[in-house]
Amino acid sequence: MPSDTHYNPQRRRRPVRRALPETYDLFIRYPTETEEDVRRIVGNHPQAFRELGWIPTRIELLATSLVERTKELARSGHRKFGGGYRSLVHQKRGDNPYIREVIRPALAQMEALGLYPPTVPVKTLPDYSFAIQIRFMLTRPFYSRDDAPFYLHENPLMKERVFKVPMIRATGWKGTLREAARRLAEDRPELVDRLFGTIADDGEGGGRKGRLTFYPTFFDAIDLDVINPHSRRTKAGTVPIVMEIVPPGATGYFTLAYVPFDLAGLPDEEARRQVAADLGLVVRMVERTMCRYGFSAKRSRGYGLAAATFPDRKQYPGGCLEMKGFAPLHFRSFSELNRRVAGLIEELVGEKVGRLA
């Protein structure tokens, strides 16, 4: 037998080259290693990836540039060709692509599904239940940080998980309004606990459910804001901070429901007195939060304020308060809401009340 047929452990075989298997991992299929890769993902390239039609997918893919040399290009675009993440969520004139291609179709689909605006079946709830819904407009930017683990910058805006529409969670409204209620009713903590409930303490019994239920708010716009902190020594800017925001002029629906489930067994006079006290505090805390305190992160910078008057009815519906057993109240400003609620409270308790806020 020839000697070259014997096994030689020192003889190394040539590695076999195997083709990479077909993969559906987007981050492998669409890298961001070169300038062309970034431009093709954004869409401002002759050979753009047309199959990447949804903008949130493109933004998610651009996040891989954080570990590449193309990071600044992916964020801000090319000096000559433009593009980048900024071109998807910001535009000097008119609506940016994110508003046109993501937010508007998503809100239309949510409206068809009955998710937007929220509806409260007041007629099926216990007596003296009511719901307040307001179509408000921002006068200052709104910001609430999303919990996305991987993003192109450190300040993504809170968005709905499926439709990717900017939003305020119901828990966000509850926490902000509870803080406002405590400031307005410092001498009546039992009133705040009755509306918002209490947390179970160890060894002291269980918690109590509150009478208020909150709904999320979805906004119809998105934009970018840049904060440039200045050095106290040199008085010059340091590192600009990019933030996704909901810009002034954007609108959304605020909705809450009041369900006095624990009035059973009380005399009608006492039930009406409690409902009147709750209604007065609810209206005051909503107005103070929207027009004075703010309901956004970075409230110290004036973020998260809304107009005291609501958009024109021909374009947007104003506000409505519907209480079971009473005629609905329609209003176009907080001052009009205060007047109408004062009349409703007078009808409940039979006593004339002054201005609520």
The pLDDT of residue 223 is: 97
Is the pLDDT at 320 greater than 90? The verdict is: yes
How many Å apart are CA 345 and CA 18, to the nearest integer? 79
Q: Do residues 337 and 283 lie in contact, with contact meaning Cβ atoms separated by under 8 Å? A: yes
Q: What is the tens place of the pLDDT at every residue in 40-93?
A: 999 988 899 999 999 999 999 999 999 999 999 999 887 777 789 999 999 988
The pLDDT of residue 6 is: 54
Q: What is the tens place of the pLDDT at every residue in 322-335?
A: 999 999 999 999 99
Return the closest-CA partner of residue 199 out of 220, 217, 178: 178
Confidence at 19, pLDDT banded by 50, 70, 90: very low
Is the pLDDT at 355 greater than 70? The verdict is: no
What is the average pLDDT across 245-260? Answer: 97
Residue % of the chain over a pLDDT of 90: 71
How many Å apart are CA 277 and CA 55, to the nearest integer? 47
Helix (H, G, I), strand (E, B) or coil at 191: helix
How many Å apart are CA 68 and CA 78, to the nearest integer? 16
Contacts of 300 (CB under 8 A, 6+ apart): none
The pLDDT of residue 1 is: 45
The pLDDT of residue 268 is: 94
Return the closest-CA partner of residue 173 out of 292, 254, 287: 254
Exposed, middle or buried, 101 (CB in 10 Å: 0-12/13-18/19+)? middle
The pLDDT of residue 253 is: 96
Q: Give phi and psi for 348, each to the nearest 5.
A: -75, -50
Structure-block tokens of residue 218:
């979805």
Confidence at 316, pLDDT banded by 50, 70, 90: low
Q: Give the other-Cβ count within 10 Å of 258's Cβ.
A: 23
The pLDDT of residue 89 is: 96
Confidence at 25, pLDDT banded by 50, 70, 90: confident
Is the pLDDT at 4 greater than 60? The verdict is: no
The residues with which 212 forms a beta bridge, in sequence order, are 258
Confidence at 8, pLDDT banded by 50, 70, 90: low
Interstrand relation of 212-214 and 217-218 (parallel, antiparallel or unpaired)? unpaired
How many Å apart are CA 46 and CA 38, to the nearest integer? 12
How many Å apart are CA 91 and CA 265, to the nearest integer? 59
Q: Is the pTM of this model over 0.75?
A: yes
Buried b vs exposed e over 219-237: b needs ≥16 C-beta within 10 Å? Answer: bbbbbbbeeeeeeeeeeee
- More confident of the two residues 10 and 180: 180
Extended strands (E) in the chain = 130-137, 167-168, 197-198, 208-209, 212-214, 217-218, 223-227, 241-245, 251-258, 319-323, 329-331
The mean-pLDDT minimum among 95-109, 190-204, 262-276, 279-293 falls in 190-204
Q: Give the other-Cβ count within 10 Å of 285's Cβ.
A: 24
